[in-house]
Amino acid sequence: MSARIIDGKQVAAQLREQIAAEVAQFQAESGVTPHLVAVLVGGDPASAVYVRNKQNACSKAGFRSTLHKLPAETTQAELLKLVLDLNNDPDVHGILVQLPLPEQINEQAILDAVTPLKDVDCFHAENVGLMVQGRPRYLPCTPHGVQQLLIASGTVVAGAHAVVLGRSEIVGKPMAMMLVQRGAAANATVTICHSKTKDLAGLCRQADIVIAAIGQPKFVTADMVKPGAVVIDVGINRVGDQLVGDVDYGPVSEVASAITPVPGGVGPMTIAMLLKNTLTAARILTKMSGIAGR
């Protein structure tokens, strides 16, 4: 029996409609339009596509969006100055520095320079710390998108054994922490697997929920998945002229009970959660501005 497809495009579209309605209400009440600024350094084609998709989503949801496109030879000092200027601009609510950056720039230094209040990717240590403590200002976009898909698909997460493949700062680590928290699509027992994990396949076979974010095309094969497990594929890899995930979709879909496709699964959710964070940032900063002006 083939797995039920968890349609990220459909769920994201519904969420974007809801966010657009909230933006309209926020504008009517405050006179403020949420403003997301993206910074793109260099000409990486994939990064350019990601940024364009984010800008299009902003426009459709009633956000203002601005793109700063910088040459590949931009220095770290020049990029830091731009980030500082954006931090200090009261009309900017969210700052997104598209990764990867050119090799002459220290990515961590740039991400650390973004003020936590405008860090709508939730990469800053302050925001990560708040998330770990269960009192988030913002939630990391991709893991939050995964949680929303688990909710939309009716997956029972509480008490389930979730295996997260990958330990990146962007997906793996925050995903595991969010699943183990109290709340919706959480309260799971979580195992994190990575390149040094012994018997990774065996651990994966124990999972009720598999979240693949390991960055290797078709890494998760059918023999690694317990019959009836829910499989969420975060990966996106170009193989020839095809985009494939970290999961061997066809064979795994014959074993799993539900699965996300690539493309059309987690990707659209990441953008929807970015919009949600930017609206939250606009609300926070507008409230702070109002209090400061009294």
- Which residues are part of the catalytic machinery? 54, 98, 121
Measured in whole angstroms, how far is the alpha carbon of residue 163 from the centre of its chain?
18
Q: Of 51, 11, 52, which Cα lies nearest the Cα of 185? A: 11
Q: What value, to the nearest 5°, has the Cα angle with vertex 236 and ends 234 and 237? A: 145
**Sign, Cα dihedral of 229, 232, 238, 240:** positive
Q: DSSP assignment, residue 156?
A: -
Give the whole-angstrom CA distance, residue 118 versus residue 122: 9
Residues 6+ apart with CB under 8 A from 48: 40
Q: Rounded to an integer, what distance in angstroms lies between the CA atom of residue 224 and that of residue 252?
A: 9
